[in-house]
Structures are given as C-alpha cells and as structure tokens.
Homo-oligomer: A and B are copies of this chain.
Amino acid sequence: MISIVILGAGNVATHLYKAFSNTESTSVIQWFNRSLDVITPYKNKVDITDNLNTLKKADVYILAVSDDVIAELSSQLPFENRLVVHTSGSVSVYDIDKKHKRGVLYPLQTFSKNSKIDFANVPICIETIDKKSYPLLKELTTSIGSPTKRINSDQRRVLHVAAVFVNNFTNQLYRIGHEITESEGAEFDLLKPLILETSKKILELSPFKAQTGPAKRNDKKTIKKHLKTLESKHHKDIYNLLTASIQHTHGRKKL
C-alpha cells in the first residue's frame, strides 16, 4: 500500500484525492491546505491539516498547488530525502527543494471542478531525477487507471505548450465560431456535431491527412468570400494567419 499526502485543494488536487482514495493499492493518509475551509467537508474521510509541522510520514507527497508556490512550499516541508512531486506542466522538477527526492506527475487533461473524471482518459507524464523513484510513481498512476508515459523535462515543456494550442486556442476558435454565427442569429449549436467529428477524426488520421477546406484546396474564391463576410478585423487576422499556416503545411505557401 503506497501512502500519499496531498498538498493543495484546487481542481487537480481534489480529483487526485478522490481517485487515490478509491484504489486498493494506494491510501491518502493526509490532506494539507493553507486554508482548511475548502477541505473541511472531507474531514471524516481523511486527516486534514493546515500546519506543515504536523505532516505525517508518507511514501510520496504530491504538491498540487499553483506554479508560483511550488518552490517555496517544497522548501518549507519539515523533512528531507522523501519523494516530493509536483503536478505542473511548466515548472521545472529542479524547482522542488533539493533536500527531497524529486519528481513530476503531469496529468495531460483539462479538469473542471464539478465534472467527474475518468482517469483512463488522463495520460500522466512521469518525470523523476533518480531512477529509483520511477517504479513507485508508475505504480501510483497505474492504480487509478491512467495511461502513463515517462518523459524528460524538454518533452514536458513542449507537451505543455502543445496542450495550449489544442485546448485553449481550439476553444477560442469555438468562441469565435460562436461570435460569427450569433451575429446573424444563426445557432452555434448547429456546429457542435462538426466540432465533435473534427476531434474524433484525429483518432484515426494524422492532422495532416485530416485537413480539408478552402485553405488546403487553395480555393481563392471561397477565401475571398469568407474575408468579405467577416466584419471584425480581429477575426480577419486570425483567418488570414491560419489560412497561411494551412497553406504552408500543405506546400502552397512559404512563410
């Protein structure tokens, strides 16, 4: 049985707490947060604390806190030579105080507060400095059903940027689709099946092979019509840049 202390109470911390509490091979023995309010509802299920000096001895301490406080919090932990990991995509593993054994569990998924998470859909990227810590972290993440992948710092860095493109930026394109359709009283809902299909397509085809549309076909007439339809300069700028990007990828244009 792997014993775990979770530090932090945001979305990732809460989802990890729930997941690790439900396995047979792991046990969350304590939950720390600066403010007890948020975790008080769990006090009958797990030992809660807001005092670092009362932290119990555990196999692994998971710092699921804001990027900005990882370094400081790790240096404040009143022990050394135990395994301490953070869950951030963009913070270096070396930001954790060097008195600890250090690692990262980076879950590559978007977490909403209230929706249930199936960890089978949450790949967890594992990074460790010493090789010995890896098998324990692998066992930990496998226990909640996550696909796992050992990666290095450079790979985590690019995965985090790529996640912004496929998640935040994609969602902004949905937002713009919403703005454009509503401007004429058309329903954004009509686009939802297309949005789902576009994402499902890349399960079978590479994004390169999946591409269609006027930019790829170099259909200048339709591109011109679209630019005429768009009223906002801002929408036009995005249209032009992504059209050029597609044409570059498919050999129509040099950037």
A residues engaging B (CB < 8 A)?
A: 67-68, 90, 108-110, 112, 115, 121-123, 125, 149, 151, 154-178, 180-181, 183-188, 190-208, 210-216, 219, 221-222, 225-226, 229-230, 233-234, 237-239, 241-242, 245-246, 248-249, 255
Contacts of A165 in B (CB 8 A): 173-174, 176-177, 180, 238-239
Note all chain B residues with C-beta closer than 8 A to A229: 157-158, 161
Complex contact B245–A234 (CB within 8 A): yes
Complex interface: chain B residues within 8 A of A216 (CB): 168
Find out whether the CB atom of B211 lies under 8 angstroms from the CB atom of A175. yes
> In the docked arrangement, what's the CA distance between A170 and B219, Å?
18
Residues of B within 8 A of A109 (CB): 193-194, 197
A125-B190, A186-B155, A246-B168 as given contacts; A202 in contact with B174, CB under 8 Å: yes
Q: Known contacts being A175-B208, A183-B158, A226-B164, is A198 close to B197, with CB within 8 Å?
A: no
User: Are the C-beta atoms of B238 and A255 separated by less than 8 Å?
Assistant: no
Q: Are B181 and A162 in contact (CB under 8 A)?
A: yes
Residues of chain B within 8 A (CB-CB) of A172 are 207, 211, 215, 242, 245-246, 249
Q: Are B67 and A197 closer than 8 Å at their CB atoms?
A: no
CB-based contact B167/A170 at 8 Å? no
- A121 contacts B180, C-beta separation under 8 Å: no
* B-chain residues with CB within 8 Å of residue A210 when the two chains form the complex: 171, 174
- Min C-beta distance of A252 to chain B, whole Å: 13
Highest count of chain B CB atoms <10 Å: which of A165, A213, A233: A165
- Known contacts: A125-B190, A172-B207, A208-B175. The answer to whether A230 contacts B161 by CB under 8 A is yes
Inter-subunit contact B213/A186 (CB<8 Å):
no
Residues of B near A212 (CB, < 8 A) are 110, 167-168, 171
A121 B201 Cβ-Cβ under 8 A:
no
Pair B168/A170 contact, Cβ less than 8 Å: no
Contact between B180 and A198, CB atoms less than 8 A apart: no
Residue in B174, B198, B225 whose beta carbon sits within 8 Å of that of A110 in the complex: B198
Inside 8 A of A112's CB, which chain B residues have their CB? Answer: 201, 205
Q: Are B159 and A186 in contact (CB under 8 A)?
A: yes
Closest-CB distance, A52 to chain B (whole angstroms): 25
